[in-house]
Amino acid sequence: ALLTRTHINYGVKGDVAVIRINSPNSKVNTLNKEVQSEFVEVMNEIWANDQIRSAVLISSKPGCFVAGADINMLASCTTPQEAARISQEGQKMFETLEKSPKPVVAAISGSCLGGGLELAIACQYRIATKDRKTVLGVPEVLLGILPGAGGTQRLPKMVGVPAVFDMMLTG
């Protein structure tokens, strides 16, 4: 039997793992240490399971894929080294996802912002609803923070330089 986790669970339909993000006691999903830890565990299980050939990443929150990184995680840093470590851990997680031996699809419905967008662009494929609530962006730049988990490298390849300048300068 698969473990029940607090933030991320998955089930298997045929040969596809359906990964659900659902942070408890919150209207939105955010990337924090617990989510990152559970995500790495889940992905390792999926990669090790020969019966699973691909995965789909979805949110159980209506109107929100992932709203971004948990800003409180950064605000609690007392040294530049702590902030750098958080960024490096995110970069490592998304680089591993990007190099996944099995295709991973981000099924985006609702807000997909900041770290949530970085998560989606690290997947091999993305699909998004045309709902008005579905928005993609990097609003952390409005707080003076650059996308810290590889988004500055992946996003230009995905949307092109003119579009990425608009996103990086306006959020």
Strand 54-59 and strand 64-66: pairing?
Answer: unpaired
Above 90 in pLDDT, residue 68? no
Above 50 in pLDDT, residue 25? yes
Above 90 in pLDDT, residue 52? yes
Over residues 6-12, the mean pLDDT reads 92
Torsion, Cα 159 135 106 141, to 10 degrees, reads 60
117-158 per-position pLDDT tens digit: 999 999 999 999 999 999 998 878 777 777 777 777 888 888
Q: Which residues pair with 113 in a beta bridge?
A: 137
- Domains of the chain with bracketed CATH: 8-138 (3.90.226.10)
**What is the C-alpha separation between 149 and 90, in angstroms, rounded?**
5
Over residues 152-167, the mean pLDDT reads 83
Question: Are the C-beta atoms of 126 and 120 separated by less than 8 Å?
Answer: yes
| Residues labelled as active-site residues | 118, 140
* pLDDT attached to residue 1: 43
Tokens of 94: 């998304």
